[in-house]
Amino acid sequence: MGYSLYLTDLIEKTGIPRNELCAIRHSLNHENAKIVWDSGFEYFEEYQRIQPLNYFCGKKYIFSFVNGPGTTARFLEVYELKDMYPIKQATHMSNYPLPEMYDGSLS
């Protein structure tokens, strides 16, 4: 038996004001996202962490999802954005599958 949870349910449960959140649905049809996802969740978290500065809509909270069948998505986590700085200043994760992301040439 499956269970459906809607974005509005998540927003209500967290109490985060809508004007402070951005919902991101990562597509595993995107080659780079798929490579990182298949490498392990810790690498996918890093993938999210090193996105371009404007990627998160200037919001304080991110609701992160990966695509599912059709228009569905799998909820991953809620993140609070605290420190924003250029990718080139990020500490590099060892064995990261797409190290060229650190120089800003991939997204």
- pLDDT tens profile 44-95: 999 988 887 778 778 999 999 999 998 889 999 999 988 877 777 888 998 9
CA dihedral 22, 9, 67, 65 (to 10 degrees): 50
Helices and strands: H and E segment counts in the chain: 3, 3
pLDDT score recorded for residue 55: 81
CA dihedral 31, 57, 44, 10 (to 10 degrees): -120
pTM here?
Answer: 0.83
Cα–Cα distance, 71 to 69 (Å, whole number): 6
Contact 99, 91 (CB under 8 A): no
61 φ/ψ angles, rounded to the nearest 5 degrees: -125, 145
pLDDT score recorded for residue 88: 78
Residue of 104 and 10 predicted with greater confidence: 10
